[in-house]
Chain A
Amino acid sequence: MQRTGFLFLAPYAVSFAIFVILPIVVSFVLSFMRFDLTAQSSAGFVGLDNYKEALHDNYFWSAVKATLLFAAMIVPGLLVIGLSMALGINAMARGRAAVRALVFLPGMLNIAVTGILWQWFFNGEFGLFNFALKHFGSQGQPWLSDKAFAMPSIVLMSVWWTVGGTAIILLTALQQIPGMYFEAAALDGASTMRMFRHITLPLLKPVMSFVVVTTSIAGFQMFGQAFMLTRGGPELSTRGVAQYIYETAFNSYRMGYGAAMSWLLFALISVFGIFQIRMMRRPA
Chain B
Amino acid sequence: MNRSVWKTINGTIMRTVATLMILPLFLMLLTSMKPEAEVLNPENVVPRVWTLSNYQQILGWAEEAPFGRWFSNSVFISSAVTLGVIVFSAMGAFAIKRLRVPGGRQFLGLIIGSMMVPGQLFLVPLYLILSKLHWLDTPAALIVPATAGGFGIYMLSQFMEDMPPAIEEAALIDGCSPAQMFLHQTLPLCAPAISTLAVFTFIGSWNDFMGPLVFMDSVRNYTLPVGIALYQTSYYTEYGLTLATSVLAVTPLLVIFALFQRQIVSSMAASGLKD
Contacts and interface: CB of A to CB of B under 8 A. Distances in A.
Interface of A: 1-2, 4-9, 11-13, 15-16, 18-24, 26-27, 30, 85, 88-89, 91-95, 97-113, 116-118, 120-121, 126-128, 131, 160, 164, 168-169, 171-173, 175-176, 206-207, 209-210, 217, 221, 242, 245-246, 249, 255, 258-259, 262-263, 265-266, 269-270, 273
A27 B122 contact: yes
A6 B100 CA distance: 10
A176 B162 CA distance: 13
A175 B266 CA distance: 12
Contact of B178 (A8, A24, A273): A8
29 contacts: A2-B102, A11-B91, A13-B107, A16-B148, A18-B129, A20-B148, A23-B125, A26-B125, A26-B128, A95-B11, A97-B262, A102-B22, A105-B21, A105-B25, A106-B21, A110-B206, A110-B207, A110-B250, A112-B209, A112-B225, A120-B31, A126-B41, A128-B42, A168-B268, A173-B273, A206-B274, A207-B273, A266-B116, A266-B121
Q: Chain B: interface secondary structure?
A: helix
A27 B275 contact: no
Given A95-B11, A245-B120, A5 B100 contact: yes
The interface centre, meaning the residue of B42, B144, B203, B272 with most chain A CB atoms within 10 A of its CB, is B42
Interface of B: 6-7, 10-11, 13-15, 17-19, 21-22, 24-25, 27-28, 31, 40-43, 87-89, 91-92, 94-96, 99-102, 104, 107, 111, 113-126, 128-129, 144-145, 147-148, 150, 153, 177-179, 182, 203, 206-207, 209, 225, 229, 239, 242-243, 246, 249-250, 253-254, 257, 261-262, 265-266, 268-275
B218 to A, nearest CB: 21
B243 A93 contact: no
Contacts of A249: 120, 123-124
Contact of A160 (B24, B145, B178): B24
Contact of B15 (A99, A105, A113, A172): A99
B116 to A, nearest CB: 5
A215 B68 CA distance: 36
